[in-house]
Amino acid sequence: MLGMAKIITTAIFLFFLTFNLKAVVYTTVANGAWNAGATWSPSAPPCNLPAGSSIVINHFVTLTCNIILNGSMTINAGGRLTGNRTITVNSGTSISNSGLISTTTNINVNSGGSITNNGTMTTTADINVNSGGTYTNNGTVTALDFNNQGTTTNSVTGTLNTTDDLDNQNGTFTNNGNLNIADDLKNDPGNFTNNGVIVVTNDIDNQDGTFINNGGISVADDLDNQGGTWTENGNTSVTNTIDNTGGGTITGTAQLCASTIDNAGGVISGSIDICGCGGSGNPIIGGGSVGGSVTFCSPTLPVELKYFSGNVCEKNICLNWSTLTEINNDRFVLERSFDALVFEKIGEIKSKSVTGNSTSELSYDFMDYNPIGSYSYYRLHQFDFDGKGKYSPTISVFLESKRNVSFVVYPNPNKGEFTVDFSGIENNHEIAITIVDMVGKIIYETVVYQDDILSNSFKIIPNIALPSGKYLVRMKIESVSHTVKMLVE
């Protein structure tokens, strides 16, 4: 019996010894090659990392073989993994990158595997998130193609760039940050939700896909929605044509603009507002079904807005507006943005008219107790009792806590002429105004003096016509300066 106990004890010891030999934590101790023992402790990890083992990189490591991970890998801030080898993450394993991964071949995430990027990840080849795989980006990613058949989330701090396509085929993709697509965004079929900003240099292909836009999207060519469903709750601008044929559906609550919308056999529904980009009228051709609640280039607000302004109140932002008339008005939702593209709700004010109808002036105010700092953008989202909503013009307010100076530029967008409101300026000061295009060229500049202004506002009328497009308005008073993005329609 004693001999049997010894045998059992020895077997258990050997089992755990074998397990511990397999489950190794490989940690870098110096810069070097993957296969160099001097780079690691206790030794160089195998190229095919077994389950249970893990890798920790704190130094610069050069890949010397294709890496297959069945265990986890962590790259801490300051760590780098570079080379021309493939990296594959298998089921039950993960990569957490807070440093740099740079390769010239594919990065693959298989079913059950995951990558979380908090640093920088670049490849001149593809990133492939296969079915069942998970990819989360909180940093910066650049790839030739980003192919998603699993679940990918680009967070509010994330920027994802492709030098070719983003292909979300049968995957789920959520963008809360910035996407820059050098060619096409393909969602055919797939499930795509955008709460951030997307810039597409060529086309969006949403054939048989489901696309929900709550943010801002700019498409330089066409949007193909044949057989797909597009829900517009944000701001999408398509330079050329939207193809909604073949049973496509377009719906939503916000404005969608394109040069042409081919709706033959398609459906356009909801309280969406359809408009030719630049306000050129109804762009729909080809018939199809268009719902009774769809509007075309509708005015900004169904209520008559007298003004909407913002000022610095100590460390907060005071928003004020008034209406001259209101018809069926239920409420105003206050929305704020740091870039005039992606807005968040910060509050809600009910109509002061019990019935929602008024022919006399009604004044409203709202305090933003948590301003973004520097300059913030604000807009009103007005809702009728039937749930239809329209947006006000966007205003900007600059918060400079040290000098308590604020600026408001309105209307924004505009036709090239605008008004500047300011507060928090004492004594006589020179106010320099400069309008710059998006390549840095100065288009117009002027100087005004506070003592020459009857009130704390002045109008800017450039001596040249500003073509439609995006501009930067720079305002400077002594050492206080800030820049506001402005859109000329």
State the Cα–Cα distance between residues 195 and 192, nearest whole angstrom.
Answer: 10
> Partners of 334 in the beta sheet?
347, 380
Which distant-in-sequence residues (6+ apart) come within 8 Å of 469 by Cβ? 437, 438, 487, 488
Number of H helices, E strands in the chain: 1, 55
pLDDT > 70? residue 9? no
Domains and CATH numbers, the chain: 1-183 (no CATH), 184-298 (no CATH), 302-399 (2.60.40.10), 400-489 (2.60.40.1930)
Instruction: Report in angstroms the alpha-carbon separations of 30 from 38, 60, 77, 99, 102.
Output: 7, 8, 15, 15, 18
Lowest mean pLDDT among 189-193, 246-250, 265-269, 341-345: 341-345
pLDDT-based confidence at residue 13 (cuts at 50, 70, 90): very low
Q: For 442, phi and psi rounded to 5 degrees? A: -75, 120
Please tell me the predicted confidence (pLDDT) of residue 332: 94
pLDDT > 80? residue 286? yes
User: If 0-12 CB within 10 Å is exposed, 13-18 middle and 19+ buried, where does residue 154 land?
Assistant: buried
CB 179 within 8 A of CB 165: no
pLDDT-based confidence at residue 375 (cuts at 50, 70, 90): low
Q: Is the model more confident about 367 or about 280? A: 367
State the Cα–Cα distance between residues 314 and 435, nearest whole angstrom.
Answer: 29
CB 98 within 8 A of CB 77: yes
Question: Is the C-alpha dihedral spanning 218, 220, 222, 224 positive or negative?
Answer: negative
CB 191 within 8 A of CB 171: yes
Please tell me the predicted confidence (pLDDT) of residue 453: 62
Please tell me the predicted confidence (pLDDT) of residue 474: 79
pLDDT-based confidence at residue 19 (cuts at 50, 70, 90): very low
What letter represents residue 171's amino acid? G
Please tell me the predicted confidence (pLDDT) of residue 15: 46
pLDDT > 80? residue 11? no
The H or E element containing residue 18 is helix 2-22
What letter represents residue 455's amino acid? S
pLDDT > 80? residue 10? no
Please tell me the predicted confidence (pLDDT) of residue 280: 62
Q: Tell me: the pLDDT tens digits for 26-52?
A: 999 999 999 999 999 999 999 999 999
Please tell me the predicted confidence (pLDDT) of residue 3: 59
pLDDT > 80? residue 238? yes
